[in-house]
Amino acid sequence: MGMLMLLLMLMASLAALALGINVSQAIAFALLMSIPLNLLVYYYSDQIVLAMTRAKLVDESEAPLLHRIVERVAMRAGIPKPRVAIVPTDVPNAFATGRSPEKAVVAVTRGAIRLLSEDELEAVIGHEISHVKHRDVLVATMAAVIASAIGWLAYTARWGAIFSYGDREERGSTLVLLLASILVPIFAAMIQMAISRAREYKADEGSAYITRKPHALISALQRIENYVRRKPETRMNPSTSCLWIVNPFRGSSLEELFSTHPPTWKRIERLRRIAREMGLSI
């Protein structure tokens, strides 16, 4: 949670600078605001993420296969069955959110339901259930919400700095604000990367052992990766990238450097090794 507190302080500092508060006061403002912001994000981050991705909760009559798979995998993992949501995008993918296993939601895109086989869907859901079981989803969800807020504040602050005028002292403050609006999102991306990468490997391993279908997860990752390379997601907030099983956004080489996910080929290599350890052939 230390990384999340740092993200919150970065967000509060940027907000303070945008409001015209000097640097020392901005730090004090950040410390003061980090606690209530932490509570706010803790309780409402899952609802915010569902809204950001336009995910819709569905019952068993609307998605019987999805519910059956989620129930089966959750039972094997020894956690309560999460709620189920469908994301209205053709890009195949999935994520989980919620502050605890009892409050969790597993969201699968329309594209994943259409493109993936039942075994592949089960393996992907196993990955998300593993995140839920190990309580990764709270951290990732909060990081996504905070990063989104930082991005919005940085955009606002940057344009405010560009169009502001004044005496020499005000110009100095404007320069600090402009630099902060550029650097803070980069620091936020680095923190998101540190939070997410190791957890993806762990969730892949969890899926392999929960479902005993590492080969299905390998083929699912390949299908999703190939689709994203051809048709990346364009309509959602990139701040949610750390939530998805594969980053659905493709950007510049600098953005790739700060990717929230390890390279897919490395994940596949690890899964093949896990499959051999399990005595399964690929």
Distance from chain centroid for Cα 18:
26
Q: Which of 128, 205, 225, 233 is catalytic?
A: 128
Residue 225 appears among annotated catalytic residues: no
Q: Which residues contact 68 (CB under 8 A, 6 or more apart)?
A: none
Rounded to 10°, the helix 168-211/264-277 angle is 30
- Are the beta carbons of 11 and 156 closer than 8 angstroms? no
- Are the beta carbons of 246 and 108 closer than 8 angstroms? no
Question: How many residues are given for the chain?
Answer: 282
Round to whole Å and give the CA distance between 175 and 186: 17
- Are the beta carbons of 127 and 217 closer than 8 angstroms? yes
**Secondary structure percentages of the chain, helix, strand, coil, to 5:** 70, 5, 25
Distance from chain centroid for Cα 197:
11
- Are the beta carbons of 81 and 70 closer than 8 angstroms? yes
Residues designated as active site: 128
